[in-house]
Amino acid sequence: MMTVTFGGERLTLAGEQLKVGDVLPTVTAFDNNMLAFNTSETNGSRVFLTVPSLDTPVCDLEVRTFNERAAELSGVSIYCLSVDLPFAQARWCGSAGIESVKVLSDYNGAEFGRATGTFIKELALLTRAVFVVDAANQVVYTEYVSEITEQPDYDAALLAVKKIAG
């Protein structure tokens, strides 16, 4: 079982971590209108981000960065999941001007977090991770950021996206 750190303190991730070659799990999360959103409804080239909370500076910067860099990519969908309530996510997206990233809530049981090994047992939050998934629903890139307060490797994730989108 993988561990990550938060400010140097070791935390435990629940569930099986995704690896390159795995199939994206079919799970349900919720959109900003509290409507169920199933990962099986997604297709094409996709990026899935998991973050602890959109209301933190590191998560805010990460989603804003992917939102800006997503504009450079055609035919790629980007989803960000956290356990923030859908209402809080909608408020944050509106104030942050997020248009290229679809924000989803995993608040109701952390189904996505548990299915992707991103659920932090001690905090009941999702860790910071990036998954790139191709049109065949196969994971082609994963990054579990070892220290939650650090940013993911944007260039590596976007290079993986460009390889499958392009």
Domain 3-165 has CATH 3.60.110.10: no
Average pLDDT over residues 137-151: 96
Query: Which entry of 4, 47, 59, 145 is annotated as an active-site residue?
Result: 59
For the ranges 54-68, 127-141, 142-156, the lowest mean pLDDT is seen at: 54-68
Percent residues over pLDDT 70 in the chain: 99
* pLDDT per position as a tens digit, 42-71: 999 999 999 999 988 888 889 989 989 877
* pLDDT value at 122 more than 70: yes
Query: Would residue 59 show up in a list of annotated catalytic residues for this protein?
Result: yes
Closest CA to 14 of 106, 90, 133, 95: 106
What pLDDT shows up at residue 81? Answer: 97
Residues sharing a CB contact under 8 Å with residue 9, sequence separation 6 or more, in sequence order = none
Residue of higher predicted confidence among 129 and 74: 129
What pLDDT shows up at residue 83? Answer: 97
* pLDDT per position as a tens digit, 5-14: 999 999 999 9
* pLDDT value at 2 more than 80: no
pLDDT category at 166 given cuts 50, 70, 90 is low
Q: How far is CA 26 from CA 87, 99, 117, 157, in A?
A: 24, 24, 14, 22
Residue of higher predicted confidence among 155 and 99: 155
pLDDT category at 156 given cuts 50, 70, 90 is very high
